Amino acid sequence: MQIRKTSLFVFCLLGVIFPLTGQISVPFDSIKWDIRSQKHEFKEYKGQPALFMHGGIAILRDSKFKDGIIEWDMAFPEQRGFTGIRFRMQDLRNFEEFYFRPHQSGNPDANQYCPVFNGVSSWQLYHGEEYGVPYEYNFNKWFHVKLVVSGSRAELYVDNMRTPILHIPFLKHDPQEGQLMVSGARVPVYFANFSYQAVDMPKLVNAPVEEQPLDPLAIDRWYVSEPFAESDLKDVYHIKNLAKQNWTWKELPVENSGTANLASISNFAANERNTVFAKLVLNSSTEQIKALQLGFSDRAKVYCNGQAIFSGNDSYATRDYRYLGTIGFFDTVYLPLKKGRNEIWVAVSETFGGWGIRGKLENLEGIRIIK
């Protein structure tokens, strides 16, 4: 972003420039940046002083950003990678993120808004037109990016600074002040001309969008156990002993889509604590079979009244090399319900890309969900 000389407030500290507009410009060679990268250097690229980074992050120290405008220039080659901005960062495991996928240029998933909870990026749970937009990139050339964040919404501008290419109607974290960070994974990327401005609830071009109501047949909440290792369930076909453990269970309401983001309340650790039980209790007026449509990411084992009745794997690339592992109602489990109380425990295991579950009953005839 170019700044007119007449608009500059004559004050520079630690490489930070404060123009009269309130926009704070932070050159990437300023000590305000904490750069953690496999490889980085400061160099000129196509006429602009830039940060070159191949893998890693750069955290803007002491940045306090909740609502406002973030702008920067970037350039990358046509190769597989993920690079962009993280904002409202509470720590390295909890933040909002928007990133570009150079290898998906022109495709519906050319870019991605994604919340990160407890170290789990959740693009498999949040996909489609509210979370990304087709865009064809000009590779190895500078392009400008502007992100306007306002409460629970945001808009993204790329090159065309009059019209946002994407309206994000539902940011998933509660709005709260946090740090700013740029990031890059796999792809070598150049960053330049970074600036931000804190503005309380800036006006957006797009009007707010009403969420679709939750399907009345959807499970509206799950009771979630403490995390444990997926290997603990190897060759376990009945969980009567596990059921006696003195676990602490947390109630997790689902989003309007029907999805429960398990990472939002579960402390994930790969291989060590990558599995939770999501519990559902049904009271049946009679002995019957009831179909439960099930969506999960990445893997699930279903136990009905302690007995294993289903196992499924919807992980990335498990069906074919194009399968993304995005969540949906792709599986149906037939629950053998007895008269009275029935407990359905679903063990959901995560590797990467999103830790979630959703469920929908075929009907509510003869059953009552116990909360």
Same domain? 64 vs 150: yes
Contact call for residues 26 and 32 (beta carbons, < 8 A): yes
Q: What span, in angstroms and rounded, lies between the C-alpha atoms of 211 and 7?
A: 42
In a domain, 268, yes or no: yes
Helix segments in 49-186, DSSP class H: none
Q: Output the six-digit token pair for 65.
A: 């950003």
Q: What span, in angstroms and rounded, lies between the C-alpha atoms of 229 and 148?
A: 40
In a domain, 212, yes or no: no
Contact call for residues 64 and 177 (beta carbons, < 8 A): yes
Which residue do the tokens 């992050």 mark? 57
Same domain? 262 vs 191: no
Give me the DSSP letters along 200-249: SS---SSPP-PPPPPPTTB--EEEE---B-GGGGTT--B-TTGGGS----
In a domain, 18, yes or no: yes
Contact call for residues 142 and 192 (beta carbons, < 8 A): yes
- pLDDT for 22 equals 83
Same domain? 172 vs 45: yes
Cis geometry, peptide bond prior to residue 298 (ω within 30 degrees of 0): yes
Q: How many CA atoms lie within 13 A of 299 on its CB side?
A: 18
Q: Which of 142, 164, 198 is the last residue of a domain?
A: 198
- pLDDT for 310 equals 98
Same domain? 154 vs 247: no
Same domain? 191 vs 228: no
Domain at 243, CATH number: 2.60.120
Domain count, the chain: 2
Q: Which of 167, 198, 229 is the last residue of a domain?
A: 198
Same domain? 45 vs 148: yes
- pLDDT for 7 equals 39
In a domain, 176, yes or no: yes
Helix segments in the chain, DSSP class H: none
Same domain? 193 vs 226: no
Same domain? 138 vs 29: yes
Alpha carbon separation from 16 to 35, 59, 86, 289 (Å, rounded): 16, 14, 20, 66
Q: What span, in angstroms and rounded, lies between the C-alpha atoms of 324 and 233?
A: 25
Which amino acid makes up residue 216? Answer: P
- DSSP 3-state of 8: strand
In a domain, 210, yes or no: no
pLDDT < 50 positions in the chain? 1-13, 20
For 139-173, b/e burial (b = at least 16 CB within 10 A) is eeebebbbbbbbeebbbbbbeeeeebebbbbbbbb
Contact call for residues 263 and 118 (beta carbons, < 8 A): yes
In a domain, 112, yes or no: yes
**E strands, 225-352, where?**
250-253, 260-261, 275-284, 288-297, 299-304, 307-313, 331-337, 340-349
Q: Output the six-digit token pair for 95.
A: 């933040």
Domain at 152, CATH number: 2.60.120.560
Expressed as residue numbers, the domain containing 260 is: 221-369
Q: Which residues pair with 43 in a beta bridge?
A: 50
Q: How many CA atoms lie within 13 A of 202 on its CB side?
A: 17
Same domain? 173 vs 239: no
Same domain? 187 vs 227: no
In a domain, 330, yes or no: yes
In a domain, 215, yes or no: no
Query: Which residues contact residue 316 at a Cβ distance below 8 angstroms, ignoring those fewer than 6 apart?
Result: 124, 298, 323, 324, 325, 351, 352, 353
Same domain? 178 vs 247: no
Same domain? 22 vs 160: yes
Q: Is the dihedral of CA 164, 165, 169, 175 positive or negative?
A: negative
- pLDDT for 161 equals 84
Phi-psi region of 88 (alpha: psi -120 to 50; beta: other; left: phi over 0): left
Q: How many Cβ atoms from other residues are within 10 Å of residue 57's Cβ?
A: 18
